[in-house]
Amino acid sequence: MNLIAAAIAIGLAALGAGIGNGLIVGRTVEGIARQPELKSTLQTTMFIGVALVEALPIIGVVIAFIVLNK
């Protein structure tokens, strides 16, 4: 049962991160297409957002390891 819980935790974290990254990058591309002069500002904000979203799978892996060790 612990293995299933760990797999679900990692799978949902990866799914959430994939969707989040897709939305962030897509909206950044739209913003750059509308205002090319703000490219560097938008990219900086995008990279910060992607870094925050990528923390989710890391937390999911930590939770999975905690569940497996019980």
Residue with tokens 């819980």: 5
Residues 6+ apart with CB under 8 A from 45: 28
Q: How many CB atoms are located within 10 Å of the residue 49 CB?
A: 17
Angle at 28 between CA 25 and CA 32, to 5 degrees: 140
pTM recorded for the entire structure: 0.82
Level-2 CATH architecture, domain 1-68: Up-down Bundle (1.20)
Burial class (CB in 10 A: 0-12, 13-18, 19+), 60: buried
Alpha carbons 38 and 23: distance in angstroms, whole number = 19
Domains of the chain, by residue range, sit at: 1-68
Looking at residue 9, what is its pLDDT? 87
pLDDT tens, 14-41? 999 999 999 999 999 999 999 999 999 9
pLDDT tens, 42-56? 999 999 999 999 998
